[in-house]
Amino acid sequence: MKRNRLFHQTKISLTCWYASVFSGIISLGAFFVYEAIAHAHYITINQELKTVAGTFHDTLEPLLIQPNKLEKNVKEIILDLCLIDEKCGNQSYKNRYIKGLIQQGKYYLKFYDLSGNLLGNAGVKIDNLSLNYSLEEFTSIQDNQNNNYRQISLLLHTKENKEWGYLQIGRSLEDFDRYVNNIKWLLLLGLPLLIILVIIASWYLAEKAIQPLAQSYQQMQQFGSDVAHELRTPLSAIKATIDSVFLSHNLTLEDSQETFKIIHRQNDRLINLVNDLLILTRLDSGLENTDKIKKNKINLADLINDLTEELSYLALKNQVNLTKEIKESKVFILGNEEQIYRLLANLTINAINYNQKNGQVTIFLETTKKEVIIKVIDTGIGINKEEQKLIFNRFYRINKARNREKGSCGLGLAIANAIALNHGGRIILESQENQGSIFTVYLPKIISS
């Protein structure tokens, strides 16, 4: 479908808005995902350090006798325990759990006396790590090579429950940093791809959003063109008639009367067209504001009786037999009586006007539990399948020459369909060429309590 510049610019604008909003949401989502993962791992590491610290605390305290002094039997528990004033070497260790922790290469241990002086260390050798003592429970530190560590500090007691000194246990964050960096790069590399997909999806959504507007605009253009065409025909006829009067020097009374008849007939066409357009406008407004339509209780049986009586002259004039079949004398709906009458009249007039000579038109009324069914059945010219899809469009006419001859502008069925929709109903068409048509109207029934 070809689009003018306005719709193309609107589509681009919508795409930019969609892409900006969704890209912002995805970016914020990626940031919060990254922060959540990092926070979860920090909590996990803190819990791990607490568990390791608890193990060392419970293992070491029974071995500590004198405050501020590391006993020799502590060296049998902790791998590579190196005192400040001693040279360190390899030893065998009894506690397999502690041995496993130390041999993982992730942990270091530092022992301080109560004054904060370093007594010894074990585990990962970090020569360039700051030896500043801290009493905070958890701290994050970094060595001179920008390697990160998480550290926990706890107070140790002797077996007589005297304060002995402090133990600091640190864990390398190398694996944690590697994992978080992988997540960060995954998000950073995946984000542009997601944004590209968002732009493509935004273009598609803008296309879908603009379609109803484009169709409405196209319908408005077509409607304006149709109205102009319908107005031009009678106006041109009136102008041509008046021009012929001006050119006639000897106009008889009979010619004058014929001229006025033509002008009067074309004027009626214009009035009918304007009235139909006003009705359609009101009905379109009613589809959006159905609560504002004045509706009363209507007996359709009485309405159809009145309709057949009033249209009997038209049927007689067209040599068509108009009958009705009403199965119940009291069939009630809630609606606007004038509009329902117009709906049935439009269908019946069409059935009469486009019928065969000596044809038949029957208005059939029946009910179900929830609906009222009205059928207008004729033996007329019928409608082929292709035109059945277009029959309710405004200004659509099957036989344009015959429609103009009958004074129709192609709005009757469009009005009937709009009235049915306005009353929560629908119209179904069944037809075959040269075999007649059946217009079936379904309307909600008033269910008596």
Shortest CA distance to 74 belongs to which of 186, 159, 172, 180? 159
Using CA of residue 186, residue 190, residue 192, residue 195, what is the dihedral sign? negative
Helix (H) or strand (E) holding 443: strand 436-444
User: Which CATH number describes the domain made up of 294-444?
Assistant: 3.30.565.10
The confidence score (pLDDT) of residue 256 equals 77
Backbone angles phi, psi at 376, to 5 degrees: -110, 105
Backbone angles phi, psi at 393, to 5 degrees: -70, 150
Q: What's the one-letter identity of residue 382? A: G
Q: Considering the entire predicted model, what is its pTM?
A: 0.51
Domain ranges of the chain: 5-180, 294-444
Return mean pLDDT, the chain.
80
Going by DSSP bridges, is the β-strand pair 138-142/436-444 parallel, antiparallel, or unpaired? unpaired
CA distance 14 to 402: 47
> Within 13 Å, how many C-alpha atoms sit on residue 398's CB side?
18
The alpha helices in 95-173, defined as continuous H runs, are 96-103
426-432, strands of its sheet edge to edge = 320-326, 359-367, 371-378, 436-444, 426-432
The confidence score (pLDDT) of residue 131 equals 45
Q: State which residues of the chain have pLDDT below 70.
A: 1-4, 79, 86-105, 124-135, 219, 222-223, 225-227, 229-230, 233, 284-293, 397-409, 448-449
Tokens standing for 160? 């007589």
Going by DSSP bridges, is the β-strand pair 359-367/371-378 parallel, antiparallel, or unpaired? antiparallel
Place of tokens 């397999």: 96
Hey, which residues does 371 pair with through a beta bridge?
Answer: 444
Q: What's the one-letter identity of residue 46? A: N
82-83, strands of its sheet edge to edge = 82-83, 118-123, 107-112, 163-172, 148-157, 138-142
The confidence score (pLDDT) of residue 365 equals 92
